Structure 1
């Protein structure tokens, strides 16, 4: 059965309706998640808000990337775009290094943005066609996942053979192809899975050819900084995911995973054509070439030990390498014809071991989880400028030094079920240690951080249909290499600060869940306090009259808000045609720097998503209309520049309508189509206007696509 979302008034009415207390119904809250407790558990027993985006919903929405995948989820968005692509998740106003992202439990490095137009190291090398689910743990999650989970954790779970195979020996073959007009992209995915005896295997290959995502057609198609259209940038993207699992005996299962993601892109940078930074630096003949890849190899083992210390041991070891290589070619009178190569490489070795033990007593049962995690990473930047007329290379100093980072942590969690499972208490504690060690120790000092974090949450089921939950949790984020060591001396001056303290958070969350045969809802309020929040600080003018900035720990910050999501089956509730449903989600948040009273600019404006859909009882066809409405972000919603500079431009409110439909002529064949931004609304995502003023150039180039469409064909047998 598919589970959809709801109308606010009807859903709240359901929560207090006597019917809700009398009828038992299957709900989205019976869905199993892993990220909330590090074990498979029904959402209804998790004491905080968890979002789960399934591969089915990604297919229904014709999602081409992770931004599409989560765009209807309240309180969650993905930043970035343009030449360098997406750069990470935003959860309730926390983004980038404050949200931990994992692929099959493998930690992904944080994005690096030096502020220049030639270099990014972005968190964007994911292929949605390989995913079985995206789980989003909202709020601090450091007790489960350690540093970087200050604002939440995102778990990208790739498919396993058992997700595609029937019981016993079986083979699955799937082929999917599609087109998206917004990026003029063609995509093909081949999926093969097999089980023969005790051996399971999986292979998924995806290939994409496309272009930089279009913006709204109103923008001027001209060269230069005022250009209002996307640059003519084309790309090729490939992803290979291979897995094999072997059941050694009744108690031991081993598996290996390999994944390789690669993306090559190139094109003319027309938006830079004719730009003049200063006399002698007028840029012409601008061209870019990018080559990015992510590769990981992993070994995992599950042992059903059933001994005194633990029932199950699961451990995995992984190696991952990510490289972003960018070439930017241009001509200036001062430098001639040149190529600026900027590349960054992250190598990591990671270990995760988890022990599970269930204890049963007369009046309660306990699910104990304990274990350890560790990782060692190396990050290095290499910059080289080459005069293309003479062929002479010139190595440039990077903004941060090469450094090794070591993290390790130990954790313990107890999930206690009491009063016939009506009362569920979850408590956890964790210790983390982090060390950053630059290779050049004579110039850059080491940095060490550590933290204890804890959480305590509870769920109380009034009956099988109504429950309430509450949780207190702590978060921790060690300073990143960019936080600690970033230095820049041209134009404005940015100074390093290796003495930064780790950021800390305390989160309070209270919610209500309810469901019956008419629908379900979740209403949650949250309040997050942050200590030692790391932010840019304006120091003043130096002797050369240049503005000087650095990073520092501001005393306190807070983000609070509320979210709602629910569904209403209109056929059951209002007698509409069978298969008709509605859905609604709302997200409100407010952020404040307690030291200055200024806003936290990464907090999203009020957002609502309303949907109306129909699934034919035959399951042969269906359609959904989704309406997304976002309030404006202006004035005091933005942080006021500390040096008296021009204020941030307003991010206007907007309403966008999307239409999707599917047709399934046979059980194995599905055709899907979508019309997005159906009324051709011209709009900006608020995060794309962060730091943009009225005098900024190329504002139209930051718009989202106008009316666009997509179609795909999925065949599996």
Structure 2
């Protein structure tokens, strides 16, 4: 399968590159405007790094229902996690977890928390795809723009604003959407309403979803116990309400309010643990779970078009955000009888962000200066208790991480320069961040302080209207999380312990990118090579020298060094211009190749993705009456030397065929249908096999869905 996939990829590259010779005028692929690359609106063609953006229109075309679907066809980007707790994070170019920053409308999202034991996992699951206007992916370190956690990249979710749905001259907008997906038997209904009246405009979006577990491949055994090959049964429903209103006081001042509430509840029957024995006399039965995840935010913002000496415009926002996870874990054991291990976690934050922009014109060119500051105060608290129903007692429990507060302060400046009659575009950025973590005084742990100065320098040179090259150097850092600093417990009865380490240093990264872009009437493409170097990786180290703890004493330390390098290609091709195909015909191709190693011992990095390519072929009627798209995703195997340990479970290569189509029978009514994994391939996402040995029980339980389908209906009036 690996050789087969590489042959397909090679042929697709040759076919795609051949279309570059057919025309010499500009097309529009790199006229797309993104924000994440510079914190200001810029055309992609003037960005000195590789940026991916998935618009709301693309999300609809892909029939995306979650963040996993949103990045399905993006080279070098995947999501991690599955099962009861769903998505646990993102992987960008081989770096994942809390090393990837997630933001919503410029608001920093809390880092994931997973203490292990399959009883709690607080991750990025509280986001509704139908509210998004775009998903922007900043590949590579982005700390000079966004501060800590953007060590390996940043994901920016931009929710819709009233102007996104209200066309110029329109004062009203109403859209109704409904859909069904067979992969998790989920129904959805969305109502979207917008209104413009004199100086006011507002938007409200409500989405309801009801579904079950995401299915695994049908070949897995439907049995109880650790060898179970089917997903554990689960039922969920979710609600999301987004409200925005803006008031234009005059031509210079606009004020905005935003509120959002997400809630998801689920009940699961964990058949994979039914009858499981840790040791004789300790067997699990009646294993179920009930979870509730919520996220809420309220905020105020202000845009000031000042045109004064210090700045042309100012945008600031003040936001309060709270996210809570309530996980109830029910079971019956021989030792404890019937119980509920209740595991709750809460993050709350108050965030202020201000950005000033100034355009300076000189004889040699222009400078777009951006500068500003960020201040974040956040709290994290765990609440554990175990209910023993047979005895009627409650154990208050001992959370692994104490209640703690964190403060982040950052200032930044950036110069986006247009030189040599705009043929040369140079971007230079500098940011200083200060971080302080303060655990609850009763914990006895020490305060942690760290800071970082990160830099970025990039340039784009337009050789002519069709060809440009770009190069960029950027830095990233990640302050240690509260979990890494203060996770501690002493289990002397079982001979092991974990110690806190408030003296950890931030992780650091340096990245180099070199790229080529071409843009013609028939095609546009981007080819980029990258090299990322990482130091001070935080890793756990276990010491077995203390005879009182024969199973070891574990502590986090800054000992890891790693490097990841690779090549990515993406291109769009208008087949009507290139080959005289029916007008509206197009093709797309993306390829991502990466290699990485642990510089301490030379072993492979398990988080690095195998060679992946996506080839698409589509058609859109010139009046948008109907259209269709075929996407073929080809992934090479990840096995043996691709893992840090050769005994890691093998992730075989695979080829996935997805087919989608839409039809507009009358104005403003659109029907979409999709068939996914049409060839019913049995496959695993390599991220779900990380750390699982080849003899791991129930490997089929980690497969992705087999053949599945979906249908969406949208009406706008």
TM-score by length of 1: 0.96
Instruction: Give aligned pairs, total.
Output: 703
User: Structure 1 residues 499 and 217 mapped into 2: Cα distance closer, same or farther (>3 Å)?
Assistant: same
TM superposition shift of 1:648: 1.3
CA distance in 2 between partners of 1:701 and 1:494 (Å): 31
Aligned to 2:8: none
1:101-127 per-residue CA deviation (whole Å, 9 max, x = no partner) reads: 110011001111111111111111110
Residue 606 of structure 1, aligned match among 604, 608, 611: 611
Which range moves more in the overlay, 610-619 or 136-145? 610-619
Q: The residue matched to 1:156 in structure 2 has which SS?
A: strand
TM superposition shift of 1:230: 1.1
Q: Does 1:506 align with 2:506?
A: no
TM superposition shift of 1:88: 1.3
Aligned to 1:376: 377
Which range moves more in the overlay, 597-606 or 6-15? 6-15
Aligned to 1:340: 341
Aligned to 2:638: 633
CA distance in 2 between partners of 1:255 and 1:603 (Å): 41
Q: The residue matched to 1:225 in structure 2 has which SS?
A: coil
Show the 5 A alignment for 1:400-415.
400-415=401-416
Aligned to 2:526: 522
Q: The residue matched to 2:619 in structure 1 has which SS?
A: strand
Aligned to 2:666: 666
1:443-502 per-residue CA deviation (whole Å, 9 max, x = no partner) reads: 211111101010000000011111110000010110111221223555664433222110
Aligned to 1:365: 366
Q: The residue matched to 2:446 in structure 1 has which SS?
A: coil
TM superposition shift of 1:13: 4.1
Aligned to 2:318: 317
Q: The residue matched to 2:441 in structure 1 has which SS?
A: coil
Aligned to 2:599: 594
1:558-599 per-residue CA deviation (whole Å, 9 max, x = no partner) reads: 111010000222222122222222111100111111111111
Q: Does 1:617 align with 2:622?
A: yes
User: Does the CA-based 8 Å contact 2:27-2:524 persist in structure 1?
Assistant: no
CA distance in 2 between partners of 1:538 and 1:602 (Å): 22
Aligned to 1:113: 114
TM superposition shift of 1:10: 4.1
User: Structure 1 residues 473 and 441 mapped into 2: Cα distance closer, same or farther (>3 Å)?
Assistant: farther
User: Does the CA-based 8 Å contact 2:531-2:566 persist in structure 1?
Assistant: yes
Q: The residue matched to 1:115 in structure 2 has which SS?
A: coil
TM superposition shift of 1:655: 1.0
User: Does the CA-based 8 Å contact 1:258-1:297 persist in structure 2?
Assistant: yes
| RMSD of equivalent CA atoms | 1.5
Show the 5 A alignment for 1:47-66.
47-66=48-67
1:663-690 per-residue CA deviation (whole Å, 9 max, x = no partner) reads: 1112301000000110111000000001
Aligned to 1:680: 680
Aligned to 1:131: 132
User: Does the CA-based 8 Å contact 1:215-1:230 persist in structure 2?
Assistant: yes
1:401-457 per-residue CA deviation (whole Å, 9 max, x = no partner) reads: 111011010000001101111100000100000111111365211111101010000
After superposing on structure 2, the runs of 4+ consecutive aligned residues of structure 1 that deviate more than 6 Å are: none
User: Does the CA-based 8 Å contact 1:7-1:568 persist in structure 2?
Assistant: no
User: Structure 1 residues 550 and 651 mapped into 2: Cα distance closer, same or farther (>3 Å)?
Assistant: farther
1:252-292 per-residue CA deviation (whole Å, 9 max, x = no partner) reads: 00000000000000131111100111232200011110011
CA distance in 2 between partners of 1:143 and 1:625 (Å): 38
TM superposition shift of 1:556: 2.2
Aligned to 1:25: 26
1:633-672 per-residue CA deviation (whole Å, 9 max, x = no partner) reads: 11222123xxxxx831111111111111111112301000
Show the 5 A alignment for 1:238-387.
238-387=239-388
Aligned to 1:45: 46
Aligned to 1:3: none
Aligned to 1:495: 499
CA distance in 1 between partners of 2:593 and 2:323 (Å): 35
TM superposition shift of 1:617: 2.4
Structure 1: unaligned runs, 5 residues or longer: 1-5, 641-645
Residue 13 of structure 2, aligned match among 8, 12, 18: 8
Aligned to 1:643: none
User: Does the CA-based 8 Å contact 1:11-1:521 persist in structure 2?
Assistant: no
User: Does the CA-based 8 Å contact 2:192-2:206 persist in structure 1?
Assistant: yes
User: Does the CA-based 8 Å contact 1:7-1:583 persist in structure 2?
Assistant: no
User: Does the CA-based 8 Å contact 1:244-1:257 persist in structure 2?
Assistant: yes
Aligned to 1:563: 568
Aligned to 1:191: 192
Q: The residue matched to 1:214 in structure 2 has which SS?
A: coil
CA distance in 2 between partners of 1:221 and 1:392 (Å): 36
1:197-224 per-residue CA deviation (whole Å, 9 max, x = no partner) reads: 1100000000000001010011110111
Q: The residue matched to 1:571 in structure 2 has which SS?
A: helix
User: Does the CA-based 8 Å contact 2:649-2:695 persist in structure 1?
Assistant: no
User: Structure 1 residues 476 and 509 mapped into 2: Cα distance closer, same or farther (>3 Å)?
Assistant: same
User: Does the CA-based 8 Å contact 1:7-1:566 persist in structure 2?
Assistant: no
1:616-647 per-residue CA deviation (whole Å, 9 max, x = no partner) reads: 2232111111111111111222123xxxxx83
Aligned to 2:72: 71
1:81-109 per-residue CA deviation (whole Å, 9 max, x = no partner) reads: 11011111111111111111110011001
